[in-house]
């Protein structure tokens, strides 16, 4: 995957350079400025992630999601998903493991959707690009979506109602 991104970027950059050198230099300058502007916040985000992951490592998440009550599970899963920030290559094997341990699809849908859409630790970063108001509204709405998706999945899998 990383190779693909590098391939795409190099081909794009090379094509751009062949067509117009000036514009390519401008693009690189833009890229650099974007990066420098966001760097301090990015470091802060990484710090938050490292602290959150210390208190909420994957096995603790597994313990919390393993509750028997589906509704309590959905609430816990969406809150944990909102706070935590796990990369996909940990999230999905973890979800697969939980599924085999008897955690419902309903709870897993709440967990994965909230994890992907709601970002408490990335909030400062989001705020910088989209402002406080929009960032708050978007995260709240995303949280609601995570719960609706999980209920929908639960109904279809016959786990709730």
Site for other proteins in 72-111 (CB under 8 A): 87-89, 92-93, 95-96, 99, 105, 108-109
Using CB under 8 A as the binding rule, whether residue 60 contacts other proteins is answered as no
For 120, phi then psi, to 5°, come to -75, -45
Min dist. Cβ of residue 98 to other proteins (A): 10
Binding residue for other proteins, selected from 51, 60, 71, 72, defined by CB under 8 A: 51
Query: Of the two residues 49 and 75, which places its CB atom closer to other proteins in the complex?
Result: 49
Kindly tell me the sign of the dihedral angle through the C-alpha atoms of 9, 113, 48, 40.
Answer: positive
Please list every residue from 14 through 33 that binds other proteins, using CB under 8 A.
Answer: 16, 23-24, 26-32
Using CB under 8 A as the binding rule, whether residue 129 contacts other proteins is answered as yes
Min dist. Cβ of residue 36 to other proteins (A): 10
Binding residue for other proteins, selected from 21, 71, 101, 152, defined by CB under 8 A: 152
Min dist. Cβ of residue 17 to other proteins (A): 10
- Total site size for other proteins, rule CB under 8 A: 73
Min dist. Cβ of residue 114 to other proteins (A): 10
Min dist. Cβ of residue 135 to other proteins (A): 10
Output the 3-class SS for the chain: CHHHHHHHHHHHHHHHHHHCHHHHHHHHHHHHHHHHHHHHHHHHHHHHHHHHHHHCCHHHHHHHHCCCCHHHHHHHHHHHHHHCCCCHHHHHHHHHHHHHCCCCHHHHHHHHHHHHHCCCCCHHHHHHHHHHHHHHHHHHHHHHHHHHHHHHHHHHCCCCC
Q: Are 83 and 53 contacting, i.e. CB atoms less than 8 angstroms apart? A: no
Using CB under 8 A as the binding rule, whether residue 119 contacts other proteins is answered as yes
């Amino acid at each position: 995957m990383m190779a693909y991104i590098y391939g795409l970027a190099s081909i794009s950059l090379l094509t751009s350079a062949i067509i117009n050198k000036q514009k390519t230099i401008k693009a690189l300058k833009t890229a650099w400025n974007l990066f420098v502007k966001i760097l301090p916040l990015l470091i802060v985000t990484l710090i938050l992630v490292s602290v959150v992951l210390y208190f909420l490592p994957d096995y603790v998440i597994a313990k919390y999601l393993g509750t028997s009550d589906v509704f309590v599970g959905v609430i816990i899963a969406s809150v944990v998903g909102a706070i935590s920030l796990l990369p996909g290559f940990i999230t999905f094997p973890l979800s697969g493991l939980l599924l085999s341990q008897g955690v419902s699809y309903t709870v897993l849908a709440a967990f994965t959707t909230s994890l992907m859409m709601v970002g408490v630790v990335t909030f400062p970063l989001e705020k910088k690009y989209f402002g406080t108001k929009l960032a708050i509204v978007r995260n709240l709405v995303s949280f609601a979506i995570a719960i609706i998706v999980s209920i929908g999945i639960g109904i279809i899998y016959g786990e709730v109602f």
